[in-house]
Chain A
């Protein structure tokens, strides 16, 4: 028994030793590779990167990824290599690069980051993509294959050709074929590859063809030019669609910003210069929500929709009760008083919160874009805002047309005295209407926090545009605001490419001034009794 037992023990010990040996050797090799990476000048780092990638070490991908993110560092004192997990503030949380164990916080002074730059990052992207081409998930392989277009070079071509031939998924195969064709056109001037690229909308493919069209080889240049002309045809259509999308998305922002004003100014006739600051309050509510719910930007954003409405509506009621109701029928004084309020609100935010812009995080599902094709992709945040603007508009329409409040609002604005004698509490209606308009401004703020800066000046940037839209659309008409916002947005985006942003803005203003000369009541003037009131 004892002999067997001791034999078994011996065997286990031997096995353990055998297992430990290669691991130690690996660590030594890995450390020397990382040391080479740290010590090599930038120009030589590329060679070390390929060494690491081909070392067969399982941790290679992790190291290279950390290196690409600038998170691979060396401890100045111990000489150990670490991967930085958290690099904010003066002390950084790190993990050992070899064992993967978390070490804890290390002072920034003691860490030497291994520097990376764009050229190296491009190389790393190529290598990481090749590694990713061998994973199971076809989605990942497709992303990797797409990434590879334009970054294939002579060191990678053989491997990629082999991988392409072995590839089962047709999308991945097509992307890889394109990547290889781009390389062939660029480096070898291959005529067949030019034919493969004709019709491709990919930016790297176009770049390769443009270069080929300039080449001395007349046959190649001609073929490339034909391919480019074909692409150009396709692009024209896509560009038109893109401009339209840009216009609608700018227009929907204008509609959102202006639609609250269409109620307070358009329906009630109050010139509220603090409208922009109500938008700002909505944006700050989003920020506040994200502070309350750290780590859940999406949920916070959704909760900000009712919260932003409430905050802005309450602020609106406060403004209405304290200032505006006392100035009824005196538009000039209202204008000046509300302008004062807007300055007070701005400075309040500066003093209480901070003069600096606040970070509002865009949730995962709102960043990036939907790719229709290579030349046309719709940015997701804008798409959501277009949808949101339409929903808000539809909601407001419903309230104004189908609810008792809407009926009362219309009655009071048409003939205040008559409405009161019919038993409508005009003061209450005033408060509710102003709260509604202000609340909608708050909603605009929630949406704007996703595309612009959340800071004390947020409102100022939108107040002029809002008045412009309301006046152009026709005071007192919600449909007018919608049409005016969308058309002004589109006109602006059509003008911008050839007039420049500054001139486009001026041209739009001039256009509106001329238009108002012809039709002082805007696009959709109110008719009948409402127009006289």
Chain B
């Protein structure tokens, strides 16, 4: 415990020294940052903490918000799911922050959810997730399954002509839900049961020999085969390495991943991965001025010429700017006022377009398919013609296809059943 609070303390001082602005009129506006700085998830989440500190620093240089300074409050939930709830409570009850940016894994979000709802806070969640959730107090700036998985499958089916599918994932809620959605979607599109292979592996799985060998023989049946990977975190590196070693190249069996970004690629030798695919809403290689400016800013902030940007960082960039706009529009940081004013707010994204907050607290995003290049970057090979609005409740799951979410009055409901015309139909689905 001592180490954890020490780490949090250090992070706090580091955050606080970033400010040199002197003349702010009133009390600062507090922005809570709830990302793990230690433990397994530190690998992904610590970057998001830095992103938030950078964005806040820049906003303060530009005069803060409503004439007040923004003050980051960094806590370290240490990749410990119950601790996320405690730290969220600390941020809201003790620090009295006006907004929280945080979480990575779905399980940590589920742990924070009741606290944020109870204390009426605001949470911006920046990571792609499985959907099937809509909270009055949470804004989902990452992709829902219809903004990542479904378009990626469409691309493979229509552009590459894939007929056999391997759905490989890590064994937890996001891959299981996503694969359930994809399985239904594929079957709706005439894919036979025996042409789908589903495989789950534990977190951090490192011995991929027999699974890769299975995939190889599954793919040698004469039909074009692809792997849809929801393999999470560390397990990806040995997986791709094994693919390379067993001689499976992207032109034989392409792998499309939903959790492999620039950050993950920066930890591996990318030579054997060239040509494998990833579906995201942002790539560092996107040719847009907003993106180049963001990269310049990030490189300068990190002081590292090779620092990479990734999709969840863009989600925080969008979420933060949306919150700024909403506060300006409302003229106050009051949570209820901001919740009302943020719906419909549009801010530029980093791919040269705009993101709009929808009434279901999800945002519009373009969907990009990128191929891995040997420099650890992606080259965009396909993108949706326009942005796609996030769908909280999947149309491809029996329990949720009749549900919609609309946080505008008079409906004001996160799980409205359009058939039964009642609010609350999603409870059964949401708890699984």
Chain A residues, Cβ within 8 Å of B237: 357, 452-453
B65 to chain A: closest CB distance in Å?
30
Does A36 have its Cβ within 8 Å of any Cβ on chain B? Answer: no
- Checking A109, A115, A209 against B381 with a beta-carbon cut-off of 8 angstroms, the contacting residue is A115
User: Closest residue of chain A to B296, judged by CB?
Assistant: A90
Selected interface stretch from B81-89, B91-99, B201-209: B201-209
B122 to chain A: closest CB distance in Å?
27
CA distance A69 to B271 in the complex (A): 11
B321 to chain A: closest CB distance in Å?
22
Does A250 have its Cβ within 8 Å of any Cβ on chain B? Answer: yes
CA distance A211 to B266 in the complex (A): 40
Interface string of B289-305 (1 = CB under 8 A from A): 10010011001000001
- Checking A118, A249, A453, A500 against B234 with a beta-carbon cut-off of 8 angstroms, the contacting residue is A453
- The reply to whether A501 and B211 contact each other, CB–CB distance below 8 Å, is yes
- The reply to whether B267 and A355 contact each other, CB–CB distance below 8 Å, is no
A-B contact count (CB 8 A): 161
Interface string of A195-209 (1 = CB under 8 A from B): 000000001001111
Interface string of A83-115 (1 = CB under 8 A from B): 000011110000000000000000011001101
Chain B: number of interface residues, binned into ranges:
35 or more
CA distance A90 to B299 in the complex (A): 9
Chain A residues, Cβ within 8 Å of B377: 87
CA distance A461 to B7 in the complex (A): 24
Does B306 have its Cβ within 8 Å of any Cβ on chain A? Answer: yes
- Checking B159, B202, B245, B375 against A502 with a beta-carbon cut-off of 8 angstroms, the contacting residue is B202
User: Closest residue of chain A to B244, judged by CB?
Assistant: A367
Chain B residues, Cβ within 8 Å of A203: 216, 219-220, 252
CA distance A502 to B234 in the complex (A): 16
State the interface size on chain A (CB cutoff 8 A). Answer: 67
Does A210 have its Cβ within 8 Å of any Cβ on chain B? Answer: yes
Interface string of B345-377 (1 = CB under 8 A from A): 000000000000000000000000001011111
- The reply to whether A461 and B204 contact each other, CB–CB distance below 8 Å, is yes
CA distance A214 to B221 in the complex (A): 11
- The reply to whether A381 and B204 contact each other, CB–CB distance below 8 Å, is no
User: Closest residue of chain A to B4, judged by CB?
Assistant: A347
- The reply to whether A368 and B251 contact each other, CB–CB distance below 8 Å, is no
Given A70-B373, A116-B379, A121-B275, the answer on whether A457 and B210 have CB atoms closer than 8 Å is no
Chain B residues, Cβ within 8 Å of A55: none
- The reply to whether A249 and B209 contact each other, CB–CB distance below 8 Å, is yes
Chain B residues, Cβ within 8 Å of A246: 209-210, 213
Chain B residues, Cβ within 8 Å of A355: 37-38, 42-43, 46
Interface centre among A117, A359, A452, A492 (most CB of B within 10 A): A117
User: Closest residue of chain B to A360, judged by CB?
Assistant: B269
- Checking A206, A350, A369 against B246 with a beta-carbon cut-off of 8 angstroms, the contacting residue is A369
- The reply to whether B241 and A451 contact each other, CB–CB distance below 8 Å, is yes
- The reply to whether B234 and A368 contact each other, CB–CB distance below 8 Å, is no
Given A451-B241, A493-B209, the answer on whether A208 and B266 have CB atoms closer than 8 Å is no
Does A485 have its Cβ within 8 Å of any Cβ on chain B? Answer: no
- The reply to whether B199 and A500 contact each other, CB–CB distance below 8 Å, is yes
- The reply to whether B254 and A501 contact each other, CB–CB distance below 8 Å, is no
Chain B residues, Cβ within 8 Å of A62: none
- Checking B42, B46, B206, B221 against A207 with a beta-carbon cut-off of 8 angstroms, the contacting residue is B221
Chain A residues, Cβ within 8 Å of B306: 88-89
Does A119 have its Cβ within 8 Å of any Cβ on chain B? Answer: yes
- The reply to whether A501 and B201 contact each other, CB–CB distance below 8 Å, is yes
Q: Which of A349-378 contact B (CB under 8 A)?
A: 350-351, 355-359, 361-362, 367-369, 377
Chain B residues, Cβ within 8 Å of A343: 3
- Checking A108, A125, A250, A497 against B251 with a beta-carbon cut-off of 8 angstroms, the contacting residue is A125
- The reply to whether A118 and B251 contact each other, CB–CB distance below 8 Å, is yes
Chain A residues, Cβ within 8 Å of B244: 367
A-binding residues in B (CB < 8 A): 3, 7, 37-38, 40, 42-43, 46, 159-160, 171, 199-202, 204-207, 209-211, 213-214, 216, 219-222, 234, 237-238, 241-242, 244-247, 250-252, 254, 263, 266-269, 272, 274-275, 287, 289, 292, 295-296, 299, 305-306, 371, 373-377, 379-382
A-B contact pairs, 29 of them (CB 8 A): A70-B371, A90-B295, A90-B305, A109-B289, A113-B379, A115-B379, A116-B371, A118-B251, A118-B275, A119-B159, A206-B221, A207-B220, A207-B222, A211-B222, A249-B209, A250-B209, A253-B207, A347-B3, A355-B38, A355-B42, A356-B266, A357-B237, A359-B267, A369-B245, A379-B209, A382-B209, A453-B234, A457-B234, A505-B202
Please name the 10 residue pairs, one residue from A and one from B, whose CB atoms are nearest each other, closest first: A357-B267, A210-B222, A355-B42, A379-B245, A207-B222, A246-B209, A211-B222, A501-B201, A117-B381, A452-B206
Beyond A209-B222, A356-B267, A501-B205, list 16 extra A-B contacts (CB 8 Å). Answer: A69-B373, A70-B373, A88-B376, A109-B292, A203-B220, A206-B222, A210-B220, A347-B38, A350-B42, A355-B38, A357-B43, A359-B269, A380-B245, A452-B238, A457-B234, A502-B171
